[in-house]
């Protein structure tokens, strides 16, 4: 993640496991992150939301309904927002059974638990901050958690991304040594201004062209594109010289890279 901006090829493209190896294990769980490592990812991506008592948990949606058994465990807590339940309540939920009975008992990890579980892996981390508007001050809380886990910073194994670019500008002001990723597809005209605080532009793959990737590189940033599970599309993105591919199937990309 810390490499300077430069066109990538199949040997150097970063293999980023989206919510872990989420095609094969329940997304945003420790099991999914560990599987990403076994499937030869370089980076695992996770999403951070905040509980009622301001604890950081790893969860994509702002509600618990899709990826836990919250509706069964707490039938009177509709609409099951993450921000309406405490960490102690969320710890009781099963975050694996919805995906497969093989993963029953898997828990919603805290950010702290995810950092700790993956500390000794060979993976870097792409940390997505969700809900900057929903959770005022979430940037400060993520920074505090990262400061409690300094090896991710000192080993330069970390980048932080968001769809909310203002939130990322703020994050850069709080922690300027962490590479910043902006999700979305800024215009070519916006790129030089964004390069003042961002290191990565992370667009959906359907918006990309080789020319656009080159413009990002010219502005001194790198491109990590999402979410690609098909090897032909991966190949096209590599031909566009993207620097990273975000995928639910890191094994498919690993096979392509090693072919």
Binding site residues, ligand G3P, CB under 6 A: 18, 45, 47, 60, 128, 183, 202, 226-227, 246
In angstroms, what is the minimal distance from the CB of 223 to ligand G3P?
12
Active-site residue flag, 172: no
Q: Which stretch binds Ca ion (CB under 5 A): 105-113, 124-132, 152-160, 199-207?
A: 124-132
In angstroms, what is the minimal distance from the CB of 220 to Ca ion?
24
In angstroms, rounded to a whole number, what is the distance separating the alpha carbons of residues 250 and 259? Answer: 14
Q: Identify which of residues 60 and 77 has a Cβ nearer to ligand G3P in the complex.
A: 60
In angstroms, rounded to a whole number, what is the distance separating the alpha carbons of residues 232 and 158? Answer: 28
Considering 54, 60, 172, 224, which one is annotated as catalytic? 60
Structure tokens at 225: 């594109």
The entry of ligand G3P, Ca ion, none near residue 80 (CB within 5 to 8 angstroms by kind) is none
In angstroms, rounded to a whole number, what is the distance separating the alpha carbons of residues 32 and 38? Answer: 10
Structure tokens at 221: 């940033």
Q: Identify which of residues 43 and 219 has a Cβ nearer to Ca ion in the complex.
A: 43
Taking Cα atoms as reference points, which of 103, 108, 79 lies closest to residue 25? 103
In angstroms, what is the minimal distance from the CB of 39 to ligand G3P?
17
Structure tokens at 103: 């993963």
In angstroms, rounded to a whole number, what is the distance separating the alpha carbons of residues 79 and 23? Answer: 26
Considering 18, 217, 224, 241, which one is annotated as catalytic? 18
Distances (CA, A) of 207 to 7, 41, 82, 135, 185: 18, 24, 31, 29, 7
In angstroms, what is the minimal distance from the CB of 17 to Ca ion?
11
The entry of Ca ion, ligand G3P, none near residue 226 (CB within 5 to 8 angstroms by kind) is ligand G3P
Q: What is the DSSP letter of 240?
A: T
Taking Cα atoms as reference points, which of 238, 258, 246, 161 lies closest to residue 7? 238
Q: Which residue is nearest to ligand G3P (CB)?
A: 226
The entry of Ca ion, ligand G3P, none near residue 183 (CB within 5 to 8 angstroms by kind) is ligand G3P
In angstroms, what is the minimal distance from the CB of 247 to ligand G3P?
10
Q: Which residue is nearest to Ca ion (CB)?
A: 128
Q: Identify which of residues 47 and 94 has a Cβ nearer to ligand G3P in the complex.
A: 47
Residue 158 pairs in a beta bridge with 125
Active-site residue flag, 224: no
Q: Could you write out the DSSP letters of every residue in 111-163?
A: HHHHHHHHTTSS-EEEEEEP-TTTSTTHHHHHHHHHHTSTHHHHTT-EEEEES
Interaction of residue 199 with Ca ion, rule CB under 5 A: no
What x/- string results for residues 22 through 51 when contact with Ca ion is judged by CB under 5 A?
-------------------------x----
In angstroms, rounded to a whole number, what is the distance separating the alpha carbons of residues 120 and 183? Answer: 28
In angstroms, rounded to a whole number, what is the distance separating the alpha carbons of residues 143 and 177? Answer: 11
Using CB under 5 A as the criterion, which residues of the chain lie in contact with Ca ion when the complex forms?
47, 128
The residues annotated with a catalytic role in the active site are: 18, 60
């Amino acid at each position: 993640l810390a490499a300077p901006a430069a066109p990538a090829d199949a040997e150097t493209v970063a293999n980023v496991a989206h919510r872990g190896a989420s095609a094969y294990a329940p997304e945003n769980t420790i099991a999914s992150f560990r599987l990403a490592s076994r499937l030869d990812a370089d980076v695992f991506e996770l999403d951070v939301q905040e509980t009622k008592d301001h604890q950081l948990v790893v969860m994509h949606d702002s509600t618990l309904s899709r990826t836990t058994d919250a509706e069964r465990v707490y039938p009177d807590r509709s609409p099951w927002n993450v921000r309406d339940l405490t960490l102690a309540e969320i710890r009781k939920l099963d975050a694996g059974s919805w995906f497969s009975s093989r993963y029953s008992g898997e828990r919603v990890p805290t950010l702290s638990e995810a950092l700790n579980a993956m500390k000794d892996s060979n993976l870097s981390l792409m940390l997505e901050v969700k809900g900057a508007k929903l959770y005022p001050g979430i940037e400060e809380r993520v920074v505090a958690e990262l400061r409690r886990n300094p090896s991710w910073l000192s080993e330069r194994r970390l980048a932080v991304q968001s769809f909310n670019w203002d939130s990322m500008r703020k994050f850069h002001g709080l922690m300027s040594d962490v590479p910043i990723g902006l999700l979305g597809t800024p215009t070519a005209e916006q790129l030089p201004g964004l390069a003042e605080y961002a290191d990565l532009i992370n667009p959906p793959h359907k918006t990309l062209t080789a020319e656009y990737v080159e413009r990002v590189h010219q502005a001194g940033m790198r491109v990590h594109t999402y979410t690609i599970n098909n090897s032909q599309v991966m190949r096209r993105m590599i031909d566009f010289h993207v620097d990273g591919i975000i995928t639910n199937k890191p094994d498919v990309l690993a096979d392509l890279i090693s072919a």
